[in-house]
Amino acid sequence: MSIVSRNPSTGEIIKQFESYSDEFVDGLISNSYFSYKELKKFSINRRTKCMMAVANILNEESEKLGKILTQEMGKTHKSAIAEIKKSALGAEHYAVTAKDYMADEIIKTNALKSYRSYQPLGPILAVMPWNYPVWQVIRFAAPAIMAGNTVLLKHASNVTQCALYLEDIFKRAGFHDGVFQTLIISNSKVERVLRNENVRAATLTGSEIAGSSVAAICGQEIKPTVLELGGSDAFIVMPSADLEKSAAVGTIARTQNNGQSCIAAKRFIVHAEIYEAFKEKLIKNFNSLKIGDPMNSETDIGPLVNPSSLKEVLDQVKDALDCGAQLLCGCKAIEGPGCFLQPGIIEKIPMSARIYREEIFAPIAGLYKVKSIQEAIELANDSPFGLGSSVWTADLDEQKQAINDIEAGATFINAMTSSDPRLPFGGVKRSGYGRELAAEGLRAFCNIKTVSISE
């Protein structure tokens, strides 16, 4: 079966790849296992040197790799370069901090000496999405490899060139062949990989359906998993907020990456006192966005990833309007080749509309009016998801209430939700479980071994 990379700006096929055979995949898994044994013998300093080389190559080749990202999944070239440079920082972060994150922790007991030791698990399967095709991979692979694990990457089928490029970077950086390997397979072959006894754990970033399938198989196989799934993040704006700034940041938070980000602000929950003023600013900002060729440095928004994604979003919009919601701007497909959509805003969304509960993976904002912080938090929590949240208020009591009561993996006050290698990242509820980044991201795939030495 062939796996296809298609340019979402033009609809043209860029490249096709033959899927790896089962036998070839088995060989790669064995290679991963032997490489894990080898990597365990690498000193942490040697791993650091190689990971710094990964960071350097990412920086040096951000233009070239960025073009591949733009061609394969449609993000603007400037945002592709920013993603690759951020990935370089992520690799550098773990190159520098892994030693501390993995240091033995002495715990006083009755034994002569006892401590917590962090040891690798072995080969780990990473099932990754196309929306941040470099960052999502590096934020898992850098800590996992620094901890001594090896990586088998099953990347989304539309970004295979990017997956192979990453494999090549790890080799050129000095890691031996089996440390980071790409598996060119369809999603139906993931189960076979998970059931291989040499694969010790899995991580998946993607949709709920894919996450629950991988978790169910790993449950049967008693293998640990980390799941980073969808989100429908709230962006709450209260009367004391800086309206100009919150509307400007809110526009970026909703439309970055062509609106296809898990932690994008998807539901704008605005206090009645400032609702009309905020709405006006948001509409003005959305209407000024430039949509078009993602290679053009003037472009703010490129195409959605593929025609089925565009159709799904248009169906969600139609459903909301049929249920009684009101269109404020945009939300229409742009005629011509490619999967282009006008960014848009919808208000008065009833609970019966699909987008009241579903994630909308496109530059489309839902606006909701509330009368208090309490009501805003209740509405924010009335979602199956719990990934990020962003709250705009100068009132310290409101800030405290939001931090305590919003059911999400992160709450950002007077800033948009973002990921940072120094801070843990992940969700609750149907947004997944486990954490990436920071010390948690490295320890997620460690055997936390208890060591107790007596006389």
Between the two ends of the chain, the Cα-to-Cα distance in Å is 61
Q: Are 267 and 368 in contact (CB under 8 A)?
A: yes
Strand partners, 120: 446
Nearer to ligand NAP, 127 or 236 (CB): 127
In the sheet where 180-182 sits, what is the strand order? Answer: 180-182, 150-154, 123-127, 201-205, 225-228, 432-433
Please identify which of the residues 262, 331, 339, 446 carries the catalytic annotation: 262
Q: What's the order of all strands across the beta sheet hosting 446-453?
A: 105-106, 113-120, 446-453
120 CB-near residues (< 8 Å, 6+ apart):
36, 39, 40, 147, 148, 149, 445, 446, 447
454 exposure class (CB count in 10 Å sphere: 0-12, 13-18, 19+): exposed
Q: How far is the CB of 54 from ligand NAP (least distance, A)?
A: 21
**Tokens found for residue 447:** 């055997």
Other C-beta atoms lying within 10 Å of the C-beta of residue 2: 12
Nearer to ligand NAP, 229 or 247 (CB): 229
Q: Which residues bind ligand NAP (CB under 6 A)?
A: 127-131, 136, 154-157, 186-187, 190, 205-207, 210, 213-214, 228-231, 262, 359, 361, 387, 427, 431-432
Which backbone phi and psi does 42 adopt, to 5 degrees? Answer: -65, 135
Task: Please answer whether residues 296 and 12 qualify as being in contact, where contact means their C-beta atoms are separated by less than 8 angstroms.
Answer: no
- Residue 404 tokens, joined: 């305590």
Asked whether 368 and 272 are in contact (CB, 8 A), the reply is no
Tally of CB atoms within 10 A around 397? 9
Structure tokens that stand for 204 in this block: 């998946």
Token couple for 146: 């620094």
CB of 383 to ligand NAP, least distance (A): 13
Q: How far is the CB of 202 from ligand NAP (least distance, A)?
A: 9
User: Measured at CB, which residue is nearest to ligand NAP?
Assistant: 206
Min separation Cβ 388 and ligand NAP, Å:
9
Q: Nearest approach, Cβ of 224 to ligand NAP (angstroms)?
A: 16
In the bound state with ligand NAP, the residue whose beta carbon lies nearer, of 39 and 152, is 152
Question: In terms of CB distance, is 72 or 228 closer to ligand NAP?
Answer: 228
Find, among 230, 129, 202, the residue nearest to 432 by Cα.
Answer: 230
Q: Tell me whether residue 262 is one of the annotated catalytic residues.
A: yes
CB-wise, 148 or 432, nearer to ligand NAP?
A: 432
Q: Which is nearer to ligand NAP, 66 or 231 (CB)?
A: 231
Catalytic residue among 72, 83, 228, 398: 228
Q: Which is nearer to ligand NAP, 390 or 393 (CB)?
A: 390
Place of tokens 């190159």: 95
Q: How far is CA 182 from CA 57, 186, 383, in A?
A: 18, 12, 35
Q: Facing residues of 21 across strands?
A: none
Minimum distance, C-beta of residue 179 to ligand NAP, in the bound complex (Å): 20
Q: Which residues are catalytic?
A: 228, 262
